[in-house]
Structure 1
Amino acid sequence: MLSGLRRCLSASTSRRALWSLKSLGTPPFVSAPRFGHQTLATAPLPAVGGGGTSLAVRRARALAHERLLQVEWEDGSSSLYPFTWLRDNCQCPLCTLQSARARSLLLSDLDVHTGVDHVQLTENNKVSITWPDQHSSEYEPDWLKRRCFSPEARRARQEELFLNERTFWDSGLRIPTASFEEVLHDDKAALAWLQALRRVGIVYLKGAPVEQGQVAKLSKRIGYLRLTFYGHTWQVQDKPMANNVAYTSGKLSLHTDYPALHHPPGVQFLHCLQQACEGGESEVVDGFHMAEQLRREDPEAFSILSSLRVDFTDTGADYCDFCVQSKNRIIDVDSEGKVVRINYNNATRDSVLDLPVHKVQPFYTSLKSFVELMNRPENVVTYRMEPGDLVTFDNWRLLHGRRSYVSHPDYLRHLEGAYLDWDEVMSRLRILRKAVHGDAP
């Protein structure tokens, strides 16, 4: 089946454009080819509880002056836990609703300056603490180890929870590809799909039925679709009196969808039902990679685009009538300066520009630099979708576009699209990872 898919792909896309998830083994992408200065490789997930990774506690003692519990592990390492945090996270039935794994203890009842009366190890190697009010708490070694406060442990835990590491790419990318039916029905295939979607930002699914409703069916593998003003799903076709530039046959420049919303959809599905006879090739670029490249090549432009908030607008009628307005930075960064989202759509960038007049020209100069960087041939991946192809991609990261095409009334190019949010996608990824690997929460 895979060899058949590769033959189809070579007929419709660049020979290096797509590659199979199934051929990679575990972990995904280890055997991927190099291109530029990047390698399609994903770091293995941090070790988690179970499967022989448990560590026994050698000793636990209270450091009263520092108000910390010190836990020494059998491998010689140690961890420190603040008293207040331990009391706040008591796992007993009075303090935690076990069925929901939710805290019952009210913050108003928490003594944030609490000490401890007594610390000991139980016969089954749990850490037991008696508090000044004689309340008792017990903590499993694995539970404590996974919540160690060391910088290394915190980084590993955050990576395990959110898969924050990304694999950057340029025009040499061979888009990860998988079987639509396998993703629908096999947990391992679905997990590999979502991990690749998170790491690389784009995954191609082959073999979807050539009929509407497949993006909705795929969404049920995750949870549910994101409803927008264009509906739960939407039909990308050349339409008279189009209410969106995507519903024309003209070229679509590289963009992210819906920056006119303050919280744009995180993930996009596009399913090809019919392709144009001529033209209509899709283009994608790694926005995170481009932002980092801009940071290196033009730090001032990066600073401007990651600090100034730009107006976006979208007005019309579809699922219902709408008049959307937002203010977003072209490049969103977190508190540590890491790029977390790209917000750029030239079609919906508003003529209203809420900037001091002296910042207008620097803004345009910076944005032009970013767009020219994205459009360099060495950064753009081009592929052609054929009926039955379904592409899934990270709308916070990738900028996508489309070449113009010849519109014919008897052979109308038709894609069906849908959105999801990253919260739902990451939720399903964690559930699948536990089902496949037995990872502890």
Structure 2
Amino acid sequence: MHRPGVLLLRSSRWPAGRTISLQAASPARRWFSEKRSLSNSSAKAARGASKSTEATSPGHTDVGETPIPRLISTDTFGHSDAPSDAPRFKTRTGPHPKSQADLTSIEEWKKEQSKLTFRGTVKELGQSQASVRVPWTKKTREKHRVTNVYYVQLRDGCDCPLCVDPKTKQRYFRTSDIPSKIKPRQMRWIDESWVDEEKVLEILWDNDVPGYDSSHVTRVTADEIRFPASFHYNKETHGRPRVFWNKAGMDEAQHWISYKDYIENDAKFGKALRALARYGLIFIKDIPESREMVEKIATRIGPLRNSFYGSTWDVRNDPHAKNVAYTNQNLGFHMDLLYMTNPPGFQLLHCLKNSCQGGESLFLDAFSAANDLDTSSWDILTRFQVPYHYNHDDHYYRTSRPVIETANYTTTLDSLENRWIAHINYSPPFQGPFRISSANMKRWGIRAESFINAFKTFADKIEDPERIFELKLNPGECVIFENRRVLHARRAFDTTSGERWLAGAYVDEDAVNSKMFTWKRKAGVFEGNAWESDT
């Protein structure tokens, strides 16, 4: 719920007198009992109905005997001083609320009570949270929605100038400073702007963070409650829509952008970013002839990722190579640097020379291949840990990870529709030896047999020619691909017939995610309907 303090503190265009105050109601035992007949309790029902109309938002009491404190609304929002065509938050209108004597069953009574309960905008559910009726906004494009918010969550998200430095965006308090029993002494909706069609929830705290007095106010908009700062980021990064593709699909959907447009045209650059987000693969053409271009292309989407190969590196035939990539041999499908704790998210290969016979580049959507797995193979490949290592005189790296990393690492997703893939880890050339503890020796053998069968099933899908997109990069062309989604390979080439030289670079996934998100935010993509922002 990050909102610039200068915006939150601006005065309301409309009067803010319509308040919803948090008050503890006097304890009263539940007057309704299933054991009492409707006729015997009519008098009490009348008294109860009368009490429920004294406040705009009557308190709700559960089936048990313990009463729950209520939020008392001092206004019904029945009048409007806003333009007549502006959407308003209006309360229930109509006949006098029905009493228990008017109804014939407990079910009908509960339905009637639920209608009365949310005539106001806020009601207390307990000591730690409240149920808030969020009004209409241009992002939701729906009437109203009831959502639960925690007091700790609201206080932790406060970004007023007393809590967050407007310049550095750094917080002045720690989450651990928030009292565990923090609660509001007042909550109210105020109109901030009918131009934005947005309301603000204003909160005064009863027992605030030490060092903050009673003048401290937390303000959060309706959209920030429904769509906090993390909503669009998660939607545009981890939860972004992916288009699974095969050879035929990429033949048709391959995205090319000129170097000039990539560097200078923000609109076309943004379109290229969207293609990269969806397909994990884009191409750049008409690049000036210079070894330095790969760095310039890479830093357009994020800082260079350094490694023991250097900030940028060259892929060419080397008779003293310590990596098969630097030979002229065939290079099978793989992903780079999986032996590192944090492998690079994206890779760039800029072609400087490619006059050899052979040397075609191959690409494959590993997400698509994994999504087509049977349930048993999927389950095994999401759980079984595969070791990767880089073992040379001056460098040794090692880590283990499953072939398929899902959004939820502990749950087996049997439904194809619920398979959310975070990363694929597949690099046979750099797999390391298994380390097996004596306690797991017997059980590991059984699991290893199942893993090999599942791994073979996955490898067969990868080798399917119908999945493989192939092209030969020409000088002045560059490919950018998602390292832990798109597998890449290379056909052998003949160095006696010419020369092949590619310059490479890595960029971290976080950096590219940041670029994708901030570009859309600056372009105003998130200002519209929250569910239609991905365009």
Query: Normalization by structure 2: what TM-score?
Result: 0.65
Which residue number corresponds to residue 211 of structure 2?
A: none
Which residue number corresponds to residue 489 of structure 2?
A: 401
Pairwise CA RMSD: 2.6
- Aligned in 2, Cα 1:161/1:253: closer, same or farther, shift over 3 Å? closer
The question of 1:147 aligning with 2:228 is answered yes
Match of 1:375 among 463, 485, 488: 463
- Aligned in 2, Cα 1:140/1:57: closer, same or farther, shift over 3 Å? farther
- Aligned in 2, Cα 1:358/1:69: closer, same or farther, shift over 3 Å? closer
- Aligned in 2, Cα 1:372/1:138: closer, same or farther, shift over 3 Å? same
Which residue number corresponds to residue 71 of structure 1?
A: 133
* Pairwise CA distance, 1:244: 0.5
Q: Distance in 2 between matches of 1:439 and 1:281?
A: 40
Which residue number corresponds to residue 300 of structure 1?
A: 376
Q: Is the 8 A contact 1:89 1:103 kept in 2?
A: no
Which residue number corresponds to residue 273 of structure 2?
A: 194
Mean Cα displacement is larger for which, 299-308 or 382-391?
Answer: 299-308
- Aligned in 2, Cα 1:127/1:352: closer, same or farther, shift over 3 Å? closer
Any idea what the Cα deviations from partners look like across 1:274-332, whole Å, max 9, x if unmatched? 114311111111011111111x3xx3222222211111111337xxx311112121221
Q: Is the 8 A contact 1:310 1:353 kept in 2?
A: no
- Higher-Rg structure is 2
What aligned pairs does 1:18-417 form with structure 2 within 5 A after superposition? 60-65=121-126, 67-74=129-136, 75-80=142-147, 81-122=149-190, 124=192, 125-133=199-207, 134=214, 135-147=216-228, 158-160=234-236, 162=238, 164-172=240-248, 173-174=250-251, 175-294=254-373, 296=374, 299-316=375-392, 321-335=394-408, 337=413, 338-352=420-434, 354=436, 356-408=444-496, 411-417=498-504
Q: Distance in 1 between matches of 2:88 and 2:514?
A: 30
Amino acid at match of 1:342: I
* Pairwise CA distance, 1:157: 6.4
Amino acid at match of 1:433: K
Which residue number corresponds to residue 437 of structure 1?
A: 524
* Pairwise CA distance, 1:165: 1.6
Query: Normalization by structure 1: what TM-score?
Result: 0.79
Which structure has the higher relative contact order (CA within 8 Å, separation 6+)? 1
Identity of matched residues, %: 27
* Pairwise CA distance, 1:69: 4.3
Q: Is the 8 A contact 1:94 1:105 kept in 2?
A: no
Q: SS in structure 2 opposite 1:120?
A: strand
Any idea what the Cα deviations from partners look like across 1:30-65, whole Å, max 9, x if unmatched? xxxxxxxxxxxxxxxxxxxxxxxx987666423253
* Pairwise CA distance, 1:351: 3.7
* Pairwise CA distance, 1:161: 5.4
* Pairwise CA distance, 1:167: 0.4
Any idea what the Cα deviations from partners look like across 1:198-245, whole Å, max 9, x if unmatched? 110100111112321111011221231100111111111111121111
- Aligned in 2, Cα 1:145/1:365: closer, same or farther, shift over 3 Å? closer
Q: Is the 8 A contact 2:302 2:508 kept in 1?
A: no
Q: SS in structure 1 opposite 2:395?
A: strand
Which residue number corresponds to residue 29 of structure 1?
A: none
Amino acid at match of 1:63: E
Q: Distance in 1 between matches of 2:521 and 2:266?
A: 10
Aligned residues: 376
Q: Distance in 2 between matches of 1:383 and 1:190?
A: 23
For structure 2, list consecutive stretches of 5 or more residues without a partner in the other structure: 1-85, 91-119, 137-141, 193-198, 208-213, 414-419, 531-535
- Aligned in 2, Cα 1:131/1:221: closer, same or farther, shift over 3 Å? same
Q: SS in structure 2 opposite 1:122?
A: strand
Q: Distance in 2 between matches of 1:89 and 1:397?
A: 34
For structure 1, list consecutive stretches of 5 or more residues without a partner in the other structure: 1-53, 149-153
Any idea what the Cα deviations from partners look like across 1:347-366, whole Å, max 9, x if unmatched? 11124454733333333222
Amino acid at match of 1:370: F
Q: Is the 8 A contact 2:354 2:501 kept in 1?
A: yes
- Aligned in 2, Cα 1:57/1:179: closer, same or farther, shift over 3 Å? farther
Q: Distance in 1 between matches of 2:329 and 2:498?
A: 16
Q: Distance in 2 between matches of 1:233 and 1:425?
A: 17
Any idea what the Cα deviations from partners look like across 1:376-410, whole Å, max 9, x if unmatched? 111111111111110000001011111111112x7
Q: Distance in 2 between matches of 1:375 and 1:117?
A: 64
Any idea what the Cα deviations from partners look like across 1:136-161, whole Å, max 9, x if unmatched? 2222333334239xxxxx97663145
